[in-house]
Amino acid sequence: MASLLDTVEHAQVAERVSAGRSWLQGLDPRAKVASTLAVILAATLSRRLTPLVVLLAMGLATALASSIPLRRLAFRVWLPTLLFTGAIVLPALFLTPGEVAYRLPELGWAVTVPGSRTAALLVARVLTAATFATLLLLSTPWNHFLKALRILRVPTVFVVILSMTYRYLLVMLETASAMFESRRSRLVARLSGREWRSLTTATAGVLLEKSLVMSNEVHQAMLARGFRGEAYTIDEFRMRPADWVWTLAIPVLAFAAVWLRR
């Protein structure tokens, strides 16, 4: 229940931040999508830590200039990235052969210098990519982001499914939240873990059924307005000089940083 509400709250915050009038929010979505993809590519290709630190610093400066709360970035992006990527690279610290940098007390396992470097590089790459991707999503209204993807020739199926998923995920979250509240209001006894799991599974089943009914109705509503298997959108975006500067400058800076420290 708490995580459902948290997801809805996160979506609301993202909408509020993207509607702001700061630096990144004012740029053309296509410029932001193209530059973000370039930075992610540059970060992936980087073989050294310094360029990644430079890129990460650029991301932080952009976040500050765009009034994007660093606290949200820290808890929503950096912490999960460190935890998950850290778990993945943990064995590399010990298994990569090379000079021993540190030996764990009691266990005696050796942390090697090349292992530490590999682990730091991977974590920094993921951190940089996740930071820029989050900046893009937090500074761009969802509908503009989808439209930009389509204009940049991202496959149709991907964009439509992404759009529908986000739209109806929120509807289903509200339904799920109402179902849990309704159930809680009628519970008088304390349920065991097993009973809770059983109830949750039943709720998931009902939600699945509701989503199927809704998908049929949505399809009917689309047909009723002339949908014949192809959907169209209007390109209303206009590139201004600042958008062109951003589109060209960010990828050039990112690749220059990587190339100079190759």
Partner 1 sequence: MASAFPCRSLGERMAMSSFDVLPESQTLSVPPGSEPSPQMPVFEVRDVFYRYEGVTALEGLSLHIGRGQRVALLGANGSGKSTLLRLLDGLCFPEKGSIAFFGEPLNPNRLAQDEFSFAFRRRVGIVFQNPDVQLFNPSVFDEVAFGPLQLRWPKERILQRVSETLEQLGISHLKARPPHRLSAGEKKRVALASVLVLDPEILLLDEPTASLDPQSASQMIDFLVGWRGGSKTVVMATHDLDSLEDIADHCFVLANGRLVGEGSPQQILGDQALLARTHLLHVHRHLHDSGEIHSHPHRHRHCHEP
The answer to whether residue 238 forms part of the interface with partner 1 (CB under 8 A) is: no
The answer to whether residue 6 forms part of the interface with partner 1 (CB under 8 A) is: no
Which of 103/167 has CB closer to partner 1? 167
Stretch that binds partner 1, among 70-78, 88-96, 167-175, 243-251 (CB under 8 A): 167-175
Among 88, 217, 244, 259, binds partner 1 (CB under 8 A): 217
Which of 170/207 has CB closer to partner 1? 170
Q: Are 11 and 170 in contact (CB under 8 A)?
A: yes
For the CB of residue 40, give the shortest distance to partner 1 in the complex, in Å. Answer: 23
Strands (E) across 90-166 are located at 100-103, 110-112
Which two three-digit tokens encode residue 140? 């761009």
Among 105, 232, 238, 241, binds partner 1 (CB under 8 A): 232
Residues 169-208 that bind partner 1 (CB under 8 A): 170-171
Stretch that binds partner 1, among 60-68, 82-90, 121-129, 224-232 (CB under 8 A): 224-232
Residue 142 exposed, middle or buried by CB count within 10 Å (0-12, 13-18, 19+):
middle
For the CB of residue 33, give the shortest distance to partner 1 in the complex, in Å. Answer: 15
Question: To 5 degrees, how large is the angle CA 71–CA 39–CA 59?
Answer: 25
The answer to whether residue 21 forms part of the interface with partner 1 (CB under 8 A) is: no
Please give the single-letter amino acid code of residue 51. P
Residues 114-153 that bind partner 1 (CB under 8 A): 141-143, 146-147, 150-151
Residues 139 and 137: their CA atoms lie apart, in Å, by 6
Which two three-digit tokens encode residue 122? 């991977």
Residues 177 and 188: their CA atoms lie apart, in Å, by 19
Total chain residues near partner 1 (CB under 8 A): 44
Stretch that binds partner 1, among 107-115, 158-166, 181-189, 250-258 (CB under 8 A): 158-166
Which two three-digit tokens encode residue 91? 């064995």
Residues 147 and 44: their CA atoms lie apart, in Å, by 26
For the CB of residue 169, give the shortest distance to partner 1 in the complex, in Å. Answer: 10
Which residues lie closer than 8 Å to 156 by C-beta, 6 or more apart? 150, 231
Q: How many CB atoms lie within 10 A of CB 68?
A: 24
Q: Are 132 and 39 in contact (CB under 8 A)?
A: yes
For the CB of residue 35, give the shortest distance to partner 1 in the complex, in Å. Answer: 21
For the CB of residue 100, give the shortest distance to partner 1 in the complex, in Å. Answer: 52
Site residues, partner 1 (CB under 8 A): 15, 141-143, 146-147, 150-151, 156-157, 159-161, 163-164, 166-168, 170-171, 212-235
